[in-house]
Structure formats: C-alpha cells, structure tokens
Copies of this chain bind each other. A is one copy, B any other.
Amino acid sequence: MSANIGNEMYGWMRDLFPLNRSITGHGTRQTLAYIKELLPEMQIHEVPSGTQAFDWTVPDEWNVKEAWIRHESGKVIADFKENNLHLMGYSEPFEGQLDLEELQEHLYSLPDQSSAIPYITSYYKRRWGFCITEQERKILKHGKYDVLVNSTLAPGHLTYGELLLPGKSHDEILLSTYVCHPSMANNELSGPVVTAALLRWLKQLDHHFTYRAVFIPETIGSLVYLSKHLDHLKKHIKAGFVITCVGDDNNYSLLKSRYGNTLADRAAEHLLRHKHSDFKTYSFLKRGSDERQYCSSGIDLPVCSLMRTKYGEYPEYHTSLDNLQFVSPKGLRGAYEAMHDVLTILEGNHTYRSSVLGEPQLGKRGLYPTLSTKESGKYSRTMLNTIAFADGQTSLLEIADHIGECCLDLIPIAEQLCKCGLFDKVNEERLVPCQ
C-alpha cells in the first residue's frame, strides 16, 4: 500500500471539512460529488421526500443560505458562515428580533465543555436554534438581538452514493459509512475517506467477494437503503462493516453485532487480537450507528463496526472539537490498514481439505528437515497444524483461532499447500483442485 495513503486521506478530509452536510441537502450532494471524483464508478441516488422506509419517512430537504444572531450593538454572536455547527441542524426559517431571555430558549451550549460548540439537530420536529460555546453564552449582554435563519425546509431529496465492485463470487461484503454531519472530522469524515481509500485498493485487487459500499445519511439513509434492497442483502451479504471514527491515534475498538458472532465480528476480532491486542470490545448494547438498523431483528445482517475511539467515548465527540486536529494522517492510515487486514483475512478465508490421509511427507517436498534431531519437531509446526485441522469443513479463520495463529500467516501457507497439491479448496460444497 502507498506509504502516503495517510496524507492522501487527510487531504480529502481537509477538502470536505467545510461543507454543511446533513441527512439531506446540498452539502451532502457536494460531498458525494467529491467522492465520485475519487471513485468514478459510484452511483449517486436521489430519494424524494415523503418516501416511506419501514417505520420512517424521508423528511423535507434542508438547505441553508445564511444564519446569524446579531446584538443591537452590532456584535455578531453566531454565524453559520464561520462554523456551520452554530446553526442547529434542520433549523426552520426564522427572522425576528428577540430579547436575551427569549433568545436563550433557542441557544445550546455545553456547561462542562465551555470552549466547544455542541452539535445539535432536530430532524423530525420543526424548531430553530443556535449552538455556541458556554464561554460566549456567559458574556451575552442584555438587549435586543436580530436573528436570521435563512433556510429552506421543503420537499426535495435524500441523496446517497452506492458503489458495487463485482468479485468472483456473488457473496458480498458491505462497507457502510455516513455523510450527514457538518464540520466534524472523526465522527464523520474519517469514515468516508477511509472507505474511499479501501475501495480504491479493492478496485485493483482480483477479489473473491463482491463489495458493496454505501455513503449514506445515518439512520434514515440505512433504513431507505435496506427497505429498497432487503431481500438481496439478506441473501448475499456475508459480512459488513460500519466505518466511522477511524481517524484518531488511539487504540482500536470493536462494536459487535447483535449476538457478536457473525463472520464480520470474528474476522475483525481475530485481526485485533493478533495485531492490535489492546483493543476494546463493545457489545451491541453500546451500539450507536447504522448497525442499529443492519442488525435489527428481521434484518439480521452480519455487520459490526471496527473503529479507533468509539463515538460517545471521547469528549470531543459531537462538538466543534472533533476537528482536523483531533484526527491525523497516521490515525487514518492505521485504521485503513486494520480494515485492509480484515478484508484480506475474509478474502483468504477459504475452506481446505488435505488431499492425503495421514500427515503428508513434507520432507520430500522440501517443506520439512530431512535430518531428524531433537529440535526438528519445532519446524513447520504452523504448516502441520494447518494441515491437521483442514478437514474440508473448517475454514482457515476457524483453524487460525483453533491453533492460536494469525489467519494472515496461514493464508500463504494454505496457498503453498494448494500449489503442492496437498490441499484442495472446498467451494460451495464442491471440492475443487487448487490448480
């Protein structure tokens, strides 16, 4: 992989940072247009307001031209132009003059994080509001305030991107990330940029699985996508990952699927255990992103989420402090490599059967020392163990778990044994010679 991949992802993120993304609207469209330049095969879909998705309805589209609060002294308190977090997401249009007491009811700040602008939305109930730092709020002067929210909330569309990379198999791996938060870095842009980088790698790979990637607004976007494709997804998705919070430098986290035992969980946990052993595991009870939908009962997709620091577990989360300083090229690159490894495991996780009964004579193939000494039993242990458990029913990942080795180390061994004719690959219930 390119040594520069971290800087490249960080550059995309810097470009995308200022856009005013939401669950609908032009900011999300501009974000998807940028990603489409990186991945021209991506399709962009528009779903009209009012469309039903299970228990939910696509809301009106929201766009903002201008929004500010100005004290009668002329001082501007909060300006959308300066930081789009100042305006509560989905604020309805408003123009008027309020005194401080009236204004307070529309202001949001964080008493415990006095320098942070909070991120607040009200998608399904019409309101308007502004978010400011607690520091600014404390020094607000009495008097009259002019308020302008020049927004539109009107029938329009929800927009999302979808990319399919057909593989040798109809079995699919789902990569899902979201494009609905305004200027935040870890809990927003890290997801799309790492996903885009992974897809650019996959495009050049001769891959087994078909990859399905979606760049969607959280919750309503995954519900819309599921409601359109449920039968297909239930049939084909063998593993999936919600990619979010993958930009900081801290240890890895794994948010597991509902019962925590899908192929996606097992591959991700295996990689982390062997390569990044101080990771944290969170059960499904700690979920918070689109696995809420993918893993809900009746949908039951095998989806988990491999993150660096999990949303909700770092104080900068959902504030203006989740910015370009909170993430780094190194952090992005680490997460990219971890997901790269997980997908490599899934790609190599075939089921093999030893083609000979008893142990094969590795010595005559140059795979074992011909001289038997006190020590010779220690050589080729991993190869012999891989062979011992290759019964045509146990996948390479299961064997790796059983013998306590990293599956990434077993994949080249299995391929070598295939080349020697000692392994047959079991493919969809049929036994296939490897060559």
Question: Which residues on A are within 8 Å of B, measured CB to CB?
Answer: 53-56, 89, 108, 110, 118-125, 127, 219, 222-223, 226-227, 230, 258, 284-285, 288, 292-293, 295-299, 312, 317-319, 353-354, 356-361, 363-364, 370-374, 377, 381, 384-385, 387-392, 403-404
Contacts and interface: CB of A to CB of B under 8 A. Distances in A.
Nearest to A116: B374
25 contacts: A55-B356, A56-B358, A108-B373, A110-B374, A121-B372, A125-B370, A125-B371, A219-B359, A227-B357, A258-B388, A258-B389, A288-B377, A292-B384, A293-B358, A293-B359, A296-B387, A297-B388, A297-B389, A297-B390, A298-B353, A299-B357, A299-B358, A312-B374, A318-B373, A318-B374
Nearest to A294: B358
A295 B387 CA distance: 12
A370 B145 CA distance: 26
Contacts of A125: 363, 370-371
A429 to B, nearest CB: 17
Contacts of A124: 361, 363-364, 370
Nearest to A110: B374
A298 B374 contact: no
Contacts of A389: 258, 297
Contacts of A56: 358, 361
Contacts of A359: 55, 219, 223, 292-293, 296
Contacts of A127: 371
Contacts of A226: 357-358
A296 B370 contact: no
B123 A296 contact: no
Contacts of A360: 55
A366 to B, nearest CB: 11
B297 A372 contact: no
A118 B374 CA distance: 8
Contacts of A356: 54-55
A388 B358 contact: no
Contacts of A358: 53-56, 222-223, 226-227, 293, 296, 299
